[in-house]
Every structure is written in C-alpha cells, then in structure tokens.
Amino acid sequence: MLAVWANVVSTPASAREALKQFMFGAGDALVTYEQDALLAQARGAALEIVMPQRTVLSEHVVVIVDQNVKPSKRAVVEAFVTFLWSETAQKAFTEYFFRAVTDEALNKAVPQFGAIRQPFTVQDLGGWGRAYPEIIHGVWEEHIAQGLEQQP
C-alpha cells in the first residue's frame, strides 16, 4: 500500500475533480467511481476501465430532513422519495451509469457495467462507526502517512 501512495501525484477533494485533473494529464492511473469513468467514456474520453474483482459498493441514501420540509411540501417530498425506488427512476439512473438497486435486470441491460465478482459494503466492515476510524483513518495514519514521512 505504501508503494502505491508513494507515487500519488494528487489527492483532489472530489472524484469529479480527480477525473478532471487526470483528463488534463495528472498521473498515469485514476481510482474513481465506476459511474464517473463510464460517464466520461460516454462523453468521448479515451479511458481504459479496469474493474477489480473485489470492491466496495458505494451506497447512497435519501434522507428527508424534517426541519427543512415545510408541511405544505411534505407530500411532494415523500412522493419524490417513493419515485426514486420506482422502475422508471431506477432505469433512469442506469442511463447515467448509476446501478439500479431494485432490479438487477436493469443493470444487466447496460453492457458497460463491469462484473463485480466480490462486492462488499461498509456494513460488512462493521459500519461507518468502525470503518472510518479504524480502517480508513487508522490505516492512513498508522501505515501510510507515517511511512511516507519516513521516506527520503
């Protein structure tokens, strides 16, 4: 892991910014979301996408924040959230290279999607309460950052 990080030329604040920097010549490889790479390809970017056999599924949630929803808008907000789970919405997501979560057949209809042979989730790592402090932050501080500081 340290050998990889020793060659990192940039750590942008977002995946989109990383892709933009990469497309303008920063670095030889980019680790990013499948959706961003596929969308860039669809827009004409010459990218070779390599799908790892084992990767984390990026799961996004929808949350209604009660204090931000006026009572007069509540029904519309709830209808929108319900719509997100509909076949129409799920199919629309796949058209922009987000994987459908309600029907695997929708994903199989998108030939650009790579095969994820061994997917796992943050929950498989113990949830965010464990994954962030122990794995993400812990591995970085204890193994990578210290190692990079010690290199000449």
Q: Tell me the C-alpha distance between 113 and 86, whole Å.
A: 21
Q: Please write the tens of the pLDDT for every residue from 41-73.
A: 999 999 999 988 898 888 888 999 999 999 999
Segment 109-145, tens digit of pLDDT = 999 998 889 999 999 999 989 988 888 788 877 777 7
pTM: 0.80
139 and 126 in contact (C-beta within 8 Å)? no
* Residue boundaries of the structural domains of the chain: 122-152
Q: How far apart are CA 69 and CA 67, in angstroms?
A: 6
